[in-house]
């Protein structure tokens, strides 16, 4: 079972990587059975740089064909499906493919249980023994959280019961910590390595995680594209902070225009925001960001970088929230240079010299209402 936590106290982390020139290609056919509703099925691909949601367009004979490039040992295919009667919990399974044309056949299973339990694989891998060992290691913590969710599902996901939401986050964190302990003891497991890079990088400080990474995994993992990604990701987390220079970047916005941070040097302040369509707090603060943009547009440039979601949903969110500033979608290199896909909303204010002078997460409670940001902007512009 997949644990999906939307509390701002805890985020399941989805990571991105530096762009590399060498890549491989995958081609996968997913064969469904009639008990699976295609409209409820979601397919994600982790290519070693980022995880992307695949838009399912056409299916012929209950078969979905996907293909693309990847930069890791395997391309990882993640399938999710809603659990009956629960609001946000999902069944899930992960499969791994190489350059050989692969087939994942989902056989019909028991009603109410995961549709991904019974399957046949051709040129695909499930690392089932390694995965089952990890699941057994954290079975008690998983069971405790599941029991709590079954009792408090509505309060957690569609209510205002912060005590229930915080307890859900706490129980989820216990699962992560237990799995972190498993990873430390099983560095030769590729499944453990993938779990580490996708879920565990924010449990400790970046410098501590780097030491753990170097001491836990063999060279074949550390020197792989995925290993190089992790080191780049951790370097970004260590250097992107107040009083340090902001990493320069060259990207394209959603209209195809080139965007360079350096081009604003000596001209404007830059407000760099990281968000996603599925992040509730990100959407909540959009009116405040829009107000700041409109009030200080002559002196302030807003650049919003979105994490991956359905692209059509993303474009609709940009329009619905009147985000009439620079918008960049799912740029893996840019996101990675700023520490990877970590907790959001994440906002940096960068001065005209290119230095980071504000981070919305700094302080005991951060700056959830952006009042500190507004005060800082007002004071800075009064001085000009």
Residue 10 in any domain: the answer is no
Residue 9 in any domain: the answer is no
- To the nearest 10°, report the CA torsion of 322, 328, 332, 337: -100
Comparing 206 with 127, the larger pLDDT belongs to: 127
Closest C-alpha among 266, 259, 190, 277 to residue 227: 190
- Span 249-255, average pLDDT: 93
Model confidence at 2: pLDDT above 90: no
Clarify whether residues 273 and 320 are in a common domain.
yes
Model confidence at 283: pLDDT above 50: yes
Model confidence at 203: pLDDT above 80: no
| Residue 384 pLDDT class (50, 70, 90 cuts) | low
Structure tokens at 248: 């320069």
Comparing 15 with 49, the larger pLDDT belongs to: 49
Q: Check the CA dihedral 118-93-35-146 and report its sign.
A: positive
Comparing 80 with 15, the larger pLDDT belongs to: 80
Clarify whether residues 257 and 311 are in a common domain.
yes
**Residue-number span of the structural domain to which 176 is assigned:** 139-234
Clarify whether residues 256 and 358 are in a common domain.
yes
Cα distance between residue 187 and residue 101, in whole Å: 29
What value does the mean pLDDT of the chain take?
86
Model confidence at 128: pLDDT above 80: yes
- Span 348-353, average pLDDT: 95
State the pTM of this model: 0.69
Q: What is the pLDDT of residue 79?
A: 96
pLDDT in tens, 185-200: 999 999 999 999 888 7
Angle at 255 between CA 339 and CA 312, to 5 degrees: 75
Tell me which of 172, 201, 234 is where a domain ends. 234
Q: What is the pLDDT of residue 13?
A: 34
| Residue 383 pLDDT class (50, 70, 90 cuts) | low
Model confidence at 208: pLDDT above 60: yes
Q: What is the pLDDT of residue 340?
A: 75
Model confidence at 42: pLDDT above 70: yes
Q: What is the pLDDT of residue 58?
A: 67
Q: What is the pLDDT of residue 110?
A: 86
Q: How many folded domains does the chain comprise?
A: 3
Tell me which of 204, 234, 264 is where a domain ends. 234
- Report the CATH number at residue 273: 3.40.30.10
* Contacts of 312 by beta carbon, 8 Å cutoff, 6+ apart: 55
Clarify whether residues 320 and 366 are in a common domain.
yes
Residue 41 in any domain: the answer is yes
pLDDT in tens, 141-171: 999 998 998 888 888 877 677 888 889 889 9
Model confidence at 68: pLDDT above 50: yes
Model confidence at 16: pLDDT above 70: no
Q: Catalogue the E-assigned strands of 210-341.
A: 250-252, 258-260, 269-275, 300-306, 326-329
Which is it for strands 119-122 and 102-106: parallel, antiparallel or unpaired?
antiparallel
Clarify whether residues 317 and 374 are in a common domain.
yes
Residue 17 in any domain: the answer is no
Helix 225-239 to helix 190-199 angle, to the nearest 10 degrees? 30
Clarify whether residues 122 and 103 are in a common domain.
yes
- Report the CATH number at residue 88: 2.60.40
Clarify whether residues 259 and 336 are in a common domain.
yes
3-state secondary structure (DSSP) of residue 14: coil
Clarify whether residues 257 and 373 are in a common domain.
yes
- Span 211-228, average pLDDT: 90
Tell me which of 80, 101, 128 is where a domain ends. 128
Clarify whether residues 286 and 267 are in a common domain.
yes
Residue 74 in any domain: the answer is yes
Q: What is the pLDDT of residue 71?
A: 85
pLDDT in tens, 256-273: 999 999 999 999 999 999
pLDDT in tens, 74-114: 999 999 999 887 777 789 999 999 999 999 999 998 888 89
Clarify whether residues 120 and 146 are in a common domain.
no
Residue 371 in any domain: the answer is yes
Model confidence at 37: pLDDT above 80: yes
Q: What is the pLDDT of residue 102?
A: 98
Residue 173's CB is within 10 A of a number of other CB atoms, namely 17
Clarify whether residues 28 and 123 are in a common domain.
yes
Residue 116 in any domain: the answer is yes
Are 18 and 232 spatial neighbours (Cβ–Cβ below 8 Å)? Answer: yes
Q: What is the pLDDT of residue 12?
A: 32
Residue 225 in any domain: the answer is yes
Clarify whether residues 258 and 373 are in a common domain.
yes
């Amino acid at each position: 079972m997949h644990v999906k936590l939307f509390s701002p106290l805890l985020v399941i982390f989805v990571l991105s990587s530096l762009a590399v020139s060498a890549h491989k290609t995958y081609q996968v056919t997913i064969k469904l059975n009639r008990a699976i509703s295609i409209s409820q099925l979601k397919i994600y691909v982790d290519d070693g740089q980022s995880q992307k949601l695949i838009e399912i367009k056409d299916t012929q004979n209950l078969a979905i064909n996907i293909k693309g490039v990847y930069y890791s040992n395997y391309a990882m295919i993640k399938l999710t499906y809603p659990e009956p009667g629960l609001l946000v919990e999902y069944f899930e399974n992960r499969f791994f493919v190489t350059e050989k044309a692969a087939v994942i056949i989902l056989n019909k299973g028991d009603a109410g249980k995961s549709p991904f339990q019974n399957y046949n694989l051709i040129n695909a891998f499930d690392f089932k023994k390694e995965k089952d060992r990890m699941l057994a290691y954290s079975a008690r913590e998983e069971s405790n959280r599941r029991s709590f969710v079954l009792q408090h599902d509505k309060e957690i996901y569609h209510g205002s019961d912060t005590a229930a939401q915080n307890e859900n986050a706490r129980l989820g964190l216990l699962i992560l910590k237990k799995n972190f302990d498993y990873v430390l003891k099983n560095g030769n497991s590729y499944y453990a390595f993938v779990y580490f890079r996708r879920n565990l990088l924010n449990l400790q400080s970046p410098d501590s995680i780097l030491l753990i990474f170097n001491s836990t995994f063999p060279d074949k993992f550390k020197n792989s594209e995925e290993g190089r990604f992790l080191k780049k990701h951790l370097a970004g987390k260590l250097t992107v902070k107040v009083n340090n220079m902001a990493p320069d970047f060259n990207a394209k916005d959603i209209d195809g225009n080139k965007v360079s941070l350096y081009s604003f040097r000596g001209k404007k302040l830059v407000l760099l925001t990281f968000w996603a369509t599925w992040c509730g707090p990100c959407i909540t603060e959009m009116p405040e960001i829009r107000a700041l943009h409109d009030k200080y547009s002559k002196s302030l440039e807003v650049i919003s970088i979105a994490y991956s979601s359905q692209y059509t949903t993303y474009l609709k969110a940009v329009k619905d929230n009147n985000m009439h500033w620079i918008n960049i979608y799912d740029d893996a290199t840019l996101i990675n240079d700023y520490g990877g896909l970590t907790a959001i909303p994440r906002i940096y204010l960068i001065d005209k010299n290119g230095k980071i002078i504000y981070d919305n997460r700094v302080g005991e409670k951060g700056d959830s209402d952006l009042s500190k940001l507004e005060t800082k902007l007002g004071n800075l512009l009064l001085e000009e």
